[in-house]
Amino acid sequence: MASSWGLLQDMGNTINIENDKVHIWKTDDKYKDLLQFLNKLYKEGLLDRDVLSHSPSEYTAKLSTGKVGMSHTQGDDMSTQYKDYEYIGIAPIKGPFGDQLVKASPLARDFGTFAITSANEYPEATIRWIDYFFSKEGSIFFRYGVEGETFNYDDNGLPQYIEEDANLENVTPFPGGGAPQYITEYNSSAINSEAVQEAQKKFDPYLPEIIYGTPLFDEKTTKEVNQIRQDMDAYYNETSSQFINGDLSFDKWDEYVSTIENMGLERLEEIYQEAYDKNFKEQ
């Protein structure tokens, strides 16, 4: 819900870009206000008491029994597997300061990611293999498998899985894999269903104008960033959870801010600012 407080996830971190300036918002008053709101929901029983600790299977069990009133998901599970409860997509919530944005992740983890290493003895064959997935026939195979075994075409000529959990892992690299693939409405009909596409239309007006991708640092800088972030992110996550569930009083907020700052917040902002100036800022 951070984006309803105007807090985005630019450059793969808790970062907002405003007037060409990088700002890590972990210590913002807006973030404090968000945590106080979530703590209020938690105390009133409107936020799942186990939201910070339940396993995926426990969450799924709650969905299957209709105990989840509102949630988020990347796929179509809530409108298909749990259709009896009539889940529908909604626009992002408007926050107390008038912010109403989608926190779009800039992390490239699925589409278009591909490389050939120097150890590959057959680069031409590898390229032909990948190129096949960008054809109409190959894109269907990549996402749906083998006609008659894992999918069939419906009355509209669109591919649909034969079963909800199609046994794709034996025939394609698609399940759980991050590989380049050709995506259209035609070859994603079962994954991006009509319900998902309708929900997306509600999101589109609230997408940020620019989504800044995660920068690639040199080896030395990467080590420094990882060293700072490892401790900082762990402390941020743990403390945020404690603020939400009431284990930590907001009287300790200034102490939390001071700890984050002492972990290298200013230096981390400098590094990301340099990366922004190099990669994104108009010269």
Rounded distance between C-alpha atoms, residue 91 and residue 216, angstroms? 32
Number of C-beta neighbours around residue 108 at 10 A: 12
pLDDT tens track for 219-251: 999 999 999 999 999 999 999 999 999 999 999
pLDDT computed for residue 178 by the predictor: 63
Number of C-beta neighbours around residue 273 at 10 A: 17
Number of C-beta neighbours around residue 63 at 10 A: 17
Q: Is pLDDT at 108 greater than 60 in this prediction?
A: no
More confident residue, 181 or 256: 256
pLDDT computed for residue 231 by the predictor: 97
Rounded distance between C-alpha atoms, residue 99 and residue 3, angstroms? 7
pLDDT tens track for 124-168: 999 999 899 889 899 899 888 889 988 999 898 888 888 765 677
pLDDT computed for residue 72 by the predictor: 79
Rounded distance between C-alpha atoms, residue 101 and residue 104, angstroms? 9
Nearest Cα to 67, choosing from 52, 89, 45?
A: 45
pLDDT tier at 66 (50, 70, 90 boundaries)? confident
* pTM for this prediction: 0.78
